[in-house]
Structure 1
Amino acid sequence: MKPFGATEAKRRPRDRETCLCFSAAGLFPVILTMFVLLTASHLQTTHVEAVQAGDVVVMLGSSAILPCHISTNDRLSQITWQKTIKGKAPNDVFLIIQPKNGLKYSNEKDLRFEFIGNVDDKNGTLKFSNVTLEDEGSYTCIFSLFPGGTPSRNSQLVILVPPITNLMDHTPLEGNEEVPLATCTAAASKPKAEVRWIKGFLEGKVREELNETQHANGTTTTWSTLLGKPGREMNGQLVKCVISSEATKEVILQTHIQVHYPPGNVNIVERSEVSYECETEANPKATVTWTRSGQPLPPSVEVVGATVQFSSQSNDLSGLYKCETKNPYGSKQAYFFVHFSSGNCNLSFLFTGLLILLIPLILPILLILLLGTGKLQSILKRFQSDPRGDAKKSG
């Protein structure tokens, strides 16, 4: 019989060696499994992040190209398009492209989307026609690759809307209070437009007042008003409105300021020996009416617009004539006197006071002439010598 201690001493090393070999063999599959899992996790983490393709900026109603392309040797099973727009659920899938089955619309079929890419080239680019403001938002294409995962490309669709432009005259009545003279509007634009004025002669005499309104669809209406005290010197002055927007080229609108006022001073201008025109300044333009004082206008006198014409120079056409100018805001008139004698026409504007002023100037001259010739003295002597006889003669 072998000693008990010797037997135990020989067995223990063998048992320890066998145990160590078993443990090493069991760890290998565990390490391999963890490596595979970590590698797969790393690959999945690498490809799930979306790549920003950039903004796609187009005009309202035009077509947009939504890019979707990837360079890889992985096998492609499908391309999925999803969008996030206002009023819809986020990441709404609207189109699926498969190598074998082609296009498949999700939910409602929107034929405005046209596939212009190539599946074999891993290109899922779309052409989006007739875009509206409701289409603005984020568009993402997702590639289903093996073993690469699901990389994606994201584009932000931005819609531009050109402004509807208008320039309106207010046509105020002449006065001393500040009122609107003209208003320039850039309506329903996206982004908002800028409005400014080139005032010309009115620089420093008028001021601008800018306002804007934002609409629910994302557009903005901007308008600018010229304010000033309306005077007749402003009437007809040129002003320009300049509208700037990202959605269109610079637009320049122009107008002439309109101020209404009654007729001013009336002038009668001789156009020929037998033709005279009545002139005045008014806005709107004044109507002109010719009349003859105390009598109807003779049939041989013709009125054409603001001009009166005498067809003959007979004495029965002599008399006082009146020119009256009138518009909705007032009236004014002027007079002139016509005298025909021996075929000649003598015209004098009827300022009766003028004759009264001339008499004191002419009378002293006549007295001097009479004194110089001695006739005045002979007249006085005759009157003194026989006043009763003169009275009888005059009687």
Structure 2
Amino acid sequence: MARDHAARRPVSPVRNAWLAVAAATAILLAAQGIGAEKVRVEDELEAYPTESVDLLCEFIDGGGRTKLTQVSWIWEPVDGQRDNIAVYHPTYGQSFPNPSFKERVIFLHNKLEKPSIRISDLKMSDAGRYTCEYATYPSGNEQGTTSLVMLAKPKNSANVVTVQAGSKSVVVAQCEAVDGKPAATIKWLASVGGNHSTSTTNGPDGTVTVRSEYRLVPTPADNGGEVTCMVDQRTQERPWVHPVKLSVEYPPSVSIEGYDNNWYVGRSDAVLLCMAKGNPAPTTVTWTAASGALPDTVEVSGNKLTVRKVDDAVNTTFTCEVKNKHGASRHQITTIVIEALEDPSSAGVVACAVIGSLLALLLVVALVAVLLSRSRRQQRRGYPGGGDSVAAGAGGSNGGDYGNKARLLFSGTGSKNGTGTNNNGPVYTYREGCDATGTLTEKANDYHHHHHLHHASMGNPPTAHDILLSGEMEEADRRKFDLDDSMEEDYDRFGAIGGGGDMQPPTYHVHRGHGGEEEMDVYLDDDMESQRDGSVISRTAIYV
């Protein structure tokens, strides 16, 4: 009973209402699904202003039982009402009811099955939903919708803002992307300290302008620094990059260069340079002197001061002052004039003159020394060698052997009263051969000077002293009679040969030559040495 009562319970009116709504919704969704399948369109298109876009539409009739009456394109702006922009009827033809599209819209095909249209000279305001809608029988209206997205490439720019150095943060550079869609993104790359801020402005046609400002506390050191603006946006294949050099203006700073602490009297073309830094560049440069007006020897050309001739008038303080629109700055330097320095160009001449003088003096001293030496030698001169060489003795199996001992024998000893035999007679050389036999060879004294003849007319041969006093001997003969100090000392110790002394003079080993007789004769001739008493002895004679 209970179960039957429950089965017969009447249905609630509310429940019936919900069931009816669900059924109607299901039927509507099914109808829309069928319509979406019958009208083929593109879901979304992108386009740019001033360009053209083709909106495609095609009716798909699977069974061929749907009758097409007409087709319309309906435009629904992003923030506006729906409006017909193009209609096609097989009998009445084409129609463009919206004035803003009338001259810009055409049908690509004169067919109801393909009512595609082309919109030219696009505007940003053309963005929105475009619906291709068919009037059919018996199913009613069929439609498909395409969203047109209008894109805009932004107009990018970056510029510097000229500022004055100070203590507050100010805008030093700007960057903007104007009338872009979608909105651009701006970033900064900087080598100086600072920060940036960004703002956006929407245009009436859906575009967006983005602006960014770079700020810092400007200093003179920031002048010429670089910041880079980088803009990224959907319509750009790569980011737009633009560097900007900062322009920070400041009062000038100045310094003076060129002074080398060597301004001596008479120096020419001494230069001072006024070096100034400022932004903008200084327009005025003024030179003054602490002593009053600039000296007459000073010339000024811009930032260059030239002293044509240094004198006491420039022993002063020079001041350089520069100006630009932000202020003035000055710097001064004291120049000290010192005593005149020797002209570097004449230093070499003076040095050469001194060296030349020294060389000349040395040459004179050497010449005097030579003359004195020759005078002394003339005073000491002994028996000169004659024209012929002393003949070699015939002692020994081969008379040319000069390995034998040799002695000089004189004809006699000299005497103050002339009674003794004169030692200027024939000179004999005695050679002892290997066979213990000796040969005595005579060398004649042959003189032809009138002084010598005078002695011959007197009946006496010329003495060695006479020979020394004669000034007509050849230099080679003079050298033969140079005194050797050691020989003079030996002579003082032992006495002259034949002078009656008891002691024998020292013996000397004769140089053993390997030449012929003539070589030994020349040797003996060169070996002669005059003594103080007028005698002549051999330097190297061997006395037994």
Query: 1:285 matched to which residue of 2?
Result: 281
1:335-373 superposed Cα distances (whole Å, 9 cap, x missing partner): 34496998999xxxxxxxxxxxxxxxxxxxxxxxxxxxx
CA distance, structure 1, for counterparts of residue 297 and residue 116 of structure 2: 87
Q: Distance in 2 between the 1:248 and 1:344 partners?
A: 76
User: In structure 1, what residue type is equivalent to 2:323?
Assistant: K
Give 2:322's aligned residue. 325
Tell me the SS of whatever aligns to 1:223. Answer: strand
Q: Deviations over 1:157-201 (max 9, x none)?
A: 1111222323232333222322222222222322111010011x2
**Structure 1 partner of 2:223:** 235
**Per-residue deviation, 1:289:** 1.4
Please give the TM-score of this superposition, normalised by the length of structure 2.
0.48
Structure 1 equivalent of residue 385 of structure 2: none
CA deviations on 1:188-228 (whole Å, 9 max, x unpaired) are: 322111010011x22xx212222223344333222222222
Distance in 2 between residues matched to 1:182 and 1:316, nearest whole Å: 55
Letter in 2 for 1:295: A
TM-score between the two structures when normalised by the length of structure 1: 0.64
Question: Partner letter of residue 209 of structure 2?
Answer: T
Alignment of 1:268 with 2:286, yes or no, is: no
- Rounded to whole Å, the distance in 2 between the matches of 1:254 and 1:59 is 28
SS of the residue aligned with 2:224?
Answer: coil
Aligned mates of 1:292, 1:263 — CA distance in 2: 18
Q: Does 2:75 match 1:83? A: yes
Q: Percent identity, aligned pairs only?
A: 20
Shift of 1:149: 4.4
Over 3 Å counting, the alpha-carbon distance change for 1:45 and 1:290 in structure 2 is: closer
2:95 alignment counterpart? 104
Residues in 2 aligned to 1:197 and 1:42: alpha-carbon distance in whole angstroms: 52
- Structure 1, residues 54-73: CA drift from partner, whole Å, max 9, x if none? 11111122212211123334
Q: Could you say which residue in structure 2 is the equivalent of 1:69?
A: 58
Displacement, 1:78? 2.7
Partner residue in 1 for 2:149: 158
* Distance change in 2, residues 1:82/1:270 (3 Å): farther
1:245 matched to 2:245? The reply is no
Match of 2:124 in 1: 133
One-letter amino acid of the counterpart of residue 94, structure 1? I
1:286-301 equivalences in 2 (<5 Å): 286-293=282-289, 294-295=292-293, 301=299
Taking structure 1 as reference, are residues 111 and 309 closer, same or farther at Cα in structure 2, changes over 3 Å only? farther
Amino acid at match of 2:273: E
Q: Aligned letter for 2:57?
A: C
1:163-312 → structure 2 map (5 Å cutoff):
163-199=154-190, 201-202=191-192, 205-249=193-237, 250-269=239-258, 273-293=269-289, 294-295=292-293, 301-304=299-302, 306-309=303-306, 312=308
Report the CA distance shift for 1:269/1:194 in structure 2 as closer, same or farther (over 3 A): farther
Matching residue of 1:94: 85
Name the structure 1 match of 2:20: none
Distance 1:45 1:225 in 2: 52
Report if aligned partners of 1:264, 1:281 keep a CA contact under 8 Å in 2.
Answer: yes
Distance 1:303 1:146, change over 3 A: same
For the residues of structure 2 that align with 1:288 and 1:338, how far apart are their CA atoms?
Answer: 27
Instruction: Answer yes or no: is the 8 Å Cα contact 1:171–1:181 preserved in 2.
Output: yes
**Unaligned stretches of 5+ residues in structure 2:** 1-27, 261-267, 344-544
| Paired residues of 1:59 and 1:247 also in contact (CA < 8 A) | no
Pick closer, same or farther for the CA change 1:180–1:79 going to 2, 3 Å. same
Q: Secondary structure at the match of 2:201?
A: strand
- CA deviations 1:28-73 (Å, max 9, x no partner) are xxxxxxxxxxxxx999766545766211111122212211123334
**Bigger Cα displacement from structure 2, 44-53 vs 256-265:** 44-53
Partner SS state of residue 230, structure 1: coil
Compute the RMSD of aligned alpha carbons: 3.6
User: How many angstroms does 1:156 deviate by?
Assistant: 0.9
Is 1:276–1:307's contact at 8 Å kept on the other side of the alignment?
A: yes
Partner residue in 2 for 1:36: none
Q: What is the Cα deviation at residue 259 of structure 1?
A: 1.6
Residue 129 of structure 2 aligns with an amino acid whose one-letter code is: S
* Preserved CA contact (<8 Å) 1:47 1:148: no
The answer to whether residue 322 in structure 2 is matched with residue 334 in structure 1 is no
Aligned length: 298
Q: Secondary structure at 2:163's aligned position in 1?
A: coil
SS in 2 for 1:151: strand
Could you tell me which runs of 5 or more consecutive residues in structure 1 were left unpaired when the two chains were aligned. Answer: 1-40, 346-395
Higher strand share goes to which structure? 1
| 2:111 corresponds to | 119
Partner in structure 2 of residue 389 of structure 1: none
The residue matched to 2:51 in structure 1 has which SS? coil
What's 1:383 paired with? none
For the structure 1 residues 88 and 42, does the alpha-carbon distance in structure 2 shift closer, same or farther, using more than 3 Å as the test?
closer
Contact 1:290–1:321 (8 Å) recurs in 2? no
CA positional deviation for 1:245: 1.0
CA distance, structure 2, for counterparts of residue 191 and residue 297 of structure 1: 73
